Amino acid sequence: MKAHLGIVFPIRINRYLASCGLGSRRSCETLVREGRIKVNGLIARTLGQRIYPEDKVELDGNQLLCPQQKQTFLFYKPRGIVCSRKNAFGEKTIYDLLPPSVQSLFYVGRLDKESEGLLLLTNDGLLANKILHPKYHFTKSYIVSLGRAFDEKDKKDLLKGMYIEGKRVKAEEVIIQEENKLKVVLTQGMKRQIRIMLSILGYKVIRLRRIAIGPLTLGKMKPGELRPLTEKEKKSLYRACELL
């Protein structure tokens, strides 16, 4: 299995046709049933047929072009940088740090100015929607340093949750790594969620660093570093988003 122009191959024929802009997967299945799709000169007969990068796919005798290139990168957002294209106060944004070749990409999973760590940059709207949609419970993991020792009895409040602006928010997992350092895992995406929850419990966040988005990890990346996903990362991300 490999990625080619943003698609992970082999890919089911209905998904491939949909990614070529021919409609929904269901309507693309109709094209196959009607015998209008050929693969390497032969009429596609089954909906389970898989397409490979070297295959020639035709609709009504017209060759389909490979879908537009999708790009996905990991970026280590430094502290003090704003997640925004433009800032009304003239503050430096992540796009001031990015090379021209990726300026058209949008970020997935905002971090506030004083937080740092992993951001996903992509031009794949479907992928972004899957990551952000509550239905998929996509995890985001953080290392949080506090201004004082963490009291273990407060852990249950983070896990049980609390109401903020009329909405119940909670942590999925809390691990005490040191007396004043936590690993916190979220599946919700409320703005400044960790900072607000800990503030309610009487803690000041000294440093907040996102170390993972789903199966993607910060690893040994340094602040300001940008890199494309590896083939293994693409595969695991697409699987987690149910796009395989």
Tell me how far CA of residue 223 lies from CA of 76, 143, 204, 226, in angstroms: 5, 15, 23, 9
Identify the pLDDT of residue 5.
45
The answer to whether 154 is a known catalytic residue is: no
Considering the entire predicted model, what is its pTM? 0.74
Query: Looking up tokens 């996102």, which residue turns up?
Result: 210
**Catalytically annotated residue among 55, 60, 112, 154:** 112
Which residue is listed with tokens 């049980």? 160
Least trusted range by pLDDT, from 19-28, 76-85, 203-212, 220-229: 19-28
Host H or E run for residue 77:
strand 72-77
CA distance 10 to 57: 13
pLDDT at residue 6, rounded to an integer: 53
- Rounded CA-CA distance 60/51 in Å is 17
Check if the beta carbon of residue 132 is closer than 8 Å to that of residue 125. Answer: no
Structure tokens at 13: 């024929």
106-140 confidence digits (pLDDT tens): 999 899 999 999 999 998 877 888 898 877 889 99
The more confident residue out of 63 and 108 is 108
Domains located in the chain, CATH noted: 2-63 (3.10.290.10), 72-238 (3.30.2350.10)
Mention every residue, 6+ apart, whose C-beta is less than 8 A from residue 166.
Answer: none
Amino acid at 73: F
Which amino acid type is present at position 104?
A: S
What's the chain's average pLDDT?
Answer: 90
Kind plus residue range of the DSSP H or E element containing 31: helix 25-33
Q: Could you give the CA distance from residue 26 to residue 67 in angstroms, rounded to a whole number?
A: 18
**Tokens at residue 208, please?**
């907040």
Tell me how far apart the alpha carbons of residues 227 and 224 are, in angstroms, rounded to a whole number.
10
In this prediction, residues 200-226 reach a mean pLDDT of: 98
Residues 6+ apart with CB under 8 A from 157: 201
d(CA 94, CA 14): 37
Each residue's pLDDT tens digit, 131-169 = 988 778 899 999 999 999 999 999 999 999 999 999 999
User: Which token pair is 241?
Assistant: 């988003």
